[in-house]
Amino acid sequence: MKKELIEPASRVTRIEEYYFSSKLREIREMNQSGQPVINLGIGSPDLPPAPEVIESLQTQAARPDVHGYQPYNGIPGLRKALAGWYLRFYGVDLDPSKEILPLFGSKEGLMHIAMSFLNPGDVALVPDPGYPAYAAVSRLAGAKVVTYPLLPENGWLPDLDFIEMMGVKRVKVMWVNYPHMPTGRRPTRKLFEDLVHFARLHRFLLANDNPYSFILNDEPLSILSVPGAMDTTLELNSLSKSHNMAGWRIGMVAGHAEYLKYLIRFKSQMDSGMFNPMQVAAIQALEAGPEWYDAINAVYRERKQEAIRLLDILGCSYTDDQSGLFIWARIPDNESSGRDFSERLLVEKRVFLTPGFIFGPQGNRFIRVSLCQTVETIKEAIKKLES
Is the Cβ–Cβ distance between 122 and 173 less than 8 Å? yes
- pLDDT score recorded for residue 209: 98
What are the start-end ranges of the H helices in the chain? Answer: 10-13, 19-32, 51-61, 76-90, 106-117, 132-140, 160-166, 189-202, 257-267, 276-286, 290-314, 338-344, 375-386
Tens of pLDDT, residue by residue over 3-15, are 788 888 888 877 7
Q: Is 353 helix (H, G, I), strand (E, B) or coil?
A: coil
State residue 7's pLDDT score. Answer: 86
Return the closest-CA partner of residue 73 out of 116, 118, 104. Answer: 104
**Distances, alpha carbon 143 to alpha carbons 108, 115, 117, 204, 288, in Å:** 18, 10, 10, 14, 40
What mean pLDDT do residues 149-160 have? 97
Q: Is pLDDT of 341 > 80?
A: yes
322: nearest Cα among 296, 350, 297: 297
Tens digit of each residue's pLDDT (9 = 90 or more) over 45-63 = 999 999 999 999 999 999 9
CB 215 within 8 A of CB 196: no
* CA triple 264-104-114, angle to 5 deg: 50
Residue 1 has pLDDT above 60, yes or no: no
Average pLDDT, the chain: 95
Q: For 224, which DSSP code?
A: G
Which range, of 35-49, 192-206, 327-341, averages the lowest pLDDT?
35-49
**Is omega for the bond preceding 51 within 30 degrees of 0, making it cis?**
no
pLDDT tens per residue, range 51-107: 999 999 999 999 999 999 999 999 999 999 999 999 999 999 999 999 999 999 999
Quickly state the pLDDT bin for 23 (edges 50, 70, 90): confident
The bridge status of strand 354-355 relative to strand 171-176 is unpaired
Asked if residue 129 has a cis previous peptide bond (ω within 30° of 0), the answer is yes
Q: Quote the CA–CA distance of 268 and 72 in Å, as a whole number.
A: 6
List, for residues 222-264, the tens digit of each pLDDT value: 999 999 999 999 999 999 999 999 999 999 999 999 999 999 9
- Separation CA 87–CA 92 (nearest Å): 5
pLDDT at residue 123, rounded to an integer: 98
Q: What percent of the chain has pLDDT over 90?
A: 90
**DSSP labels for 324-336?**
SSEEEEEPPTTSS
- pLDDT computed for residue 362 by the predictor: 97
* pLDDT > 60? residue 215: yes
Query: What is the average per-residue pLDDT within 311-323?
Result: 97
DSSP conformation class of 49: P
Q: What's the CATH code, domain 10-48+291-386?
A: 3.90.1150.10
Q: What are the extents of the domains in the chain? A: 10-48+291-386, 67-286
What is the CATH architecture assignment of 67-286?
3-Layer(aba) Sandwich (3.40)
Q: Does the structure show a pLDDT above 60 at 163?
A: yes
